[in-house]
Structure 1
Amino acid sequence: MKKFAVIALTEGGAQTARCLQEQLATQGFKVEVILPQRLAREREIYYRKGDFNSTMHRLFREYNCVVCIMATGIVVRALTGVVVDKTVDPAVIVMDEKARHVISMLSGHVGGANEWTRLIARLMEAEPVITTATDTEKVQALDVLTKKVNGWYPNFKENTKKINRRLAEGKAVELFIEPYLEKYVEQFNGFTLIRDIESHRGGTPLVIVSDHTGFAKNADIIHVVPQLNVLGVGCRKDVPIAMMQTAFTEFCQQHQLLWQSIVKVASIDVKKHEAAIQYLAKTLNADLEFYTAKELQKVSQKYPESAFVLKTVGVGNVACAAADYASGEQNVTQRYANHEITMALSRLHEI
């Protein structure tokens, strides 16, 4: 869950902060209001006189979004020395005490400040103030598009600057996105959509959004890898790590799958101590989740079941059911079975 901090300086700001806290809570956000000690009510978080800057630094490090109800200049001076980079800094938003304007100040795209500025403005019936070029020109930014698919691409700063500048200037940028990924993005303003790579015009930048291999590599192409695949895994007891490596390589080759697209590995809880599964998740830098047989039974009947597996672990299949249950979606691959290992893939229902 995203964590919001709302900090104010004055009595009027405190009232607005509490109102915003209530509004954001209705949207499912965890929100904490931070006030001067003299204004804080019982059980509210406060900072003492002279601790404002240190408090701002702490909020900057600990929260996903910091909403500052005060003058912009105060915020700028308070954050001097702690701003690092837009890839890691939290969103920082500034509001006036009367909630007339909401300003996206820092980490507009990657940190989510632009998106949350619009939300806060809507909730508080205020005017959003967003100054990033792609937003003012009403085109989709590369880093925003990538965020919607939880994606990654190389040379982030260089490529983001190059593509977003072209989009803001109305210059051509082609986009190829796998059809099954379009639901995560929806809006492609500024890009020229192409339905097949062969129609790409040489010399025009091309953004490819795909979890597959096999695309040409050249200076015109930026490959965005969406990280939304869930790998279900089953195996016999004490399967060697080398065998797991071989099976995973075969699975990826079979489906032309980019390993970087896997965000989660899932299996049944009786396999939680299997070194090969632990190794695979760690190598992929993916989350690792285990489920009980009772949980997996809720989806296992969608897939072919084995009487032996049912008798052994209490559910008729492991890989297919684990991928389905962990993602909230049915498998998008056939069940792989080799080297005493099974694998199946699903994509996250939502990001």
Structure 2
Amino acid sequence: MIALQEGEVPAVTQRGDYAVVAITKHGVELARKLGSSFQNSDVYYMSKFEKGDEEDNGIQLFSGSVRLLLPALFQHYKGIIIIISLGAVVRMIAPLLKDKKTDPGVVVVDDKGENVISVLSGHIGGANELTREIAALLKAHPVITTASDVQKTIPVDLFGKRFGWVWDSAEKLTPVSASVVNEEKVAVIQESGERGWWHYDTPIPENINSYSSIEEAEKDGFQAALVVTHRLLKEEEKHVLNNGVLYRPKNIVLGMGCNRGTSAFEIESVMLETLEELQFSVKSVRAISTIDLKKDEEGLLQVAKKYGLEFSYYTPEELNEMEIKNPSETVFKYTGAYGVSEPAALLKSGASELYLEKKKSGNVTISVAVIPYN
């Protein structure tokens, strides 16, 4: 049992990503229901409602004010579902708030389980989506007040998140969001990345128009822009971000080969130099792809881990199925494949041709492919 004391942050045992908290008899029943049906969640409730099966079910009991439990939950969980009155929750979490980019999503459920309310970090923290999920499980009414959700328009801070898109800078998120919800003329300029970003069952609002290039959008005029590209913008294009957000889709695959024992520093240097030469953003790299002989190559693994990249590898037979322009008998002699970086990039990306066929630099060979999205 967790004994809550003033001035101490209690030790909690985190198993899932979400915490469910209750302090009333009816709330405990709801919490237990959520604990059994909502995967990846940990349940906490007051010890006076102990039923005897808590240890078997991984439920954590506490005594004392629930206010003292919240600092620990804020540190450990990405989302917190609290079955307490909204006003009480607002007062308790107020001293804990830091930044919407780091605060967990907080959702409040009323004691009868009739309403589920998104309270904190609705977009970036995921509280809005969590609200919908919990409401569906409880057959309750989801209450979401975020303007973009209510109006069924683009949530600028979450645009493309489900595809893994990231923004270059958060500086203009707020003013561009204001332009979207205030129905100003907004240009979605998409040069690359997934196309199915509109997920509502209603048409795209009339104030939002899509373009395939900055030049095309400028002919039409706009007051705010959402720019989706893996390309580094030229100086003369950067004015588009005066009231714009630049998104990086994960659509670049690096096929890589190297001599055994090549350092991560050398591999990373070749990667960054190549991307700079191509004027591609490193934030748009999705994966490093190679031959299975290199699946344990420490330098490649370290670079993939550092940049959060997928790491894939293929057998010589799989690589030889790909048609490449630079087959090598020497490479075949040592690996059984006529090439490594080129076919590996093609296989992983699904592209029909390479953006960069093959570049040899020191101990590293690199090829670059851009994932096609139609």
Q: TM-score, normalised by structure 1?
A: 0.80
* Cross-structure match for 1:212: 231
The letter of the residue matching 1:312 is: Y
* Helix, strand or coil at the partner of 2:95: coil
* Cross-structure match for 2:142: 128
* Cross-structure match for 2:210: 193
Asked if the contact 1:102/1:120 (under 8 Å) is kept, the reply is yes
Matched, 1:337 2:361: no
Partners of 1:348 and 1:62 in 2: CA distance = 38
Matched, 1:47 2:61: yes
Partners of 2:138 and 2:338 in 1: CA distance = 52
Partners of 2:88 and 2:372 in 1: CA distance = 41
The letter of the residue matching 2:138 is: M
* Helix, strand or coil at the partner of 1:337: strand
* Helix, strand or coil at the partner of 1:193: strand
Q: Which among 149, 169, 172 is matched to residue 182 of structure 2? A: 169
* Cross-structure match for 1:34: 44
Asked if the contact 2:163/2:249 (under 8 Å) is kept, the reply is yes
* Helix, strand or coil at the partner of 2:129: helix
Partners of 1:242 and 1:85 in 2: CA distance = 37
Superposed displacement of residue 298, structure 1: 6.0
Specify every segment of 5 or more residues in structure 2 that has no aligned partner in the other structure, as ranges: 1-14
The letter of the residue matching 1:110 is: I
Q: Do the aligned partners of residues 11 and 49 (structure 1) sit closer, same or farther apart at CA in structure 2, a change above 3 Å counting?
A: same
* Cross-structure match for 2:8: none
The letter of the residue matching 2:224 is: P
Superposed displacement of residue 144, structure 1: 1.8
Partners of 1:45 and 1:2 in 2: CA distance = 12
* Cross-structure match for 1:223: 246
Q: Do the aligned partners of residues 268 and 51 (structure 1) sit closer, same or farther apart at CA in structure 2, a change above 3 Å counting?
A: farther
* Cross-structure match for 2:321: 301
Matched, 1:312 2:331: no
* Cross-structure match for 2:260: 237
Superposed displacement of residue 95, structure 1: 0.7
* Helix, strand or coil at the partner of 1:48: strand
Quick check: 332-341 or 90-99, which moved more?
332-341
Partners of 2:329 and 2:115 in 1: CA distance = 63
Q: Do the aligned partners of residues 116 and 186 (structure 1) sit closer, same or farther apart at CA in structure 2, a change above 3 Å counting?
A: same
Q: Which among 79, 84, 92 is matched to residue 70 of structure 1? A: 84
* Helix, strand or coil at the partner of 1:174: strand
* Cross-structure match for 1:249: 273
Asked if the contact 2:224/2:244 (under 8 Å) is kept, the reply is yes
* Helix, strand or coil at the partner of 2:49: coil
* Cross-structure match for 1:9: 23
Partners of 2:259 and 2:352 in 1: CA distance = 23
RMSD: 3.5
Q: Do the aligned partners of residues 311 and 10 (structure 1) sit closer, same or farther apart at CA in structure 2, a change above 3 Å counting?
A: farther
Partners of 1:249 and 1:300 in 2: CA distance = 28
Q: Do the aligned partners of residues 177 and 50 (structure 1) sit closer, same or farther apart at CA in structure 2, a change above 3 Å counting?
A: same
Q: Give per-residue Cα distances to partners, 1:178-221, cap 9 Å, x unaligned.
A: 36421255555452222332232456222211112345101244
Asked if the contact 1:9/1:69 (under 8 Å) is kept, the reply is yes
Q: Give per-residue Cα distances to partners, 1:16-62, cap 9 Å, x unaligned.
A: 1232234333xxxx122222223343323223211523322222221
Partners of 1:348 and 1:24 in 2: CA distance = 36
Q: TM-score, normalised by structure 2?
A: 0.76
The alignment of Structure 1 onto Structure 2 pairs a total of residues equal to 337
The letter of the residue matching 1:6 is: V
Q: Which among 86, 92, 111 is matched to residue 97 of structure 1? A: 111
Partners of 2:317 and 2:76 in 1: CA distance = 39
Asked if the contact 1:91/1:106 (under 8 Å) is kept, the reply is yes
Superposed displacement of residue 134, structure 1: 1.8
* Cross-structure match for 2:11: none
Q: Do the aligned partners of residues 165 and 77 (structure 1) sit closer, same or farther apart at CA in structure 2, a change above 3 Å counting?
A: same
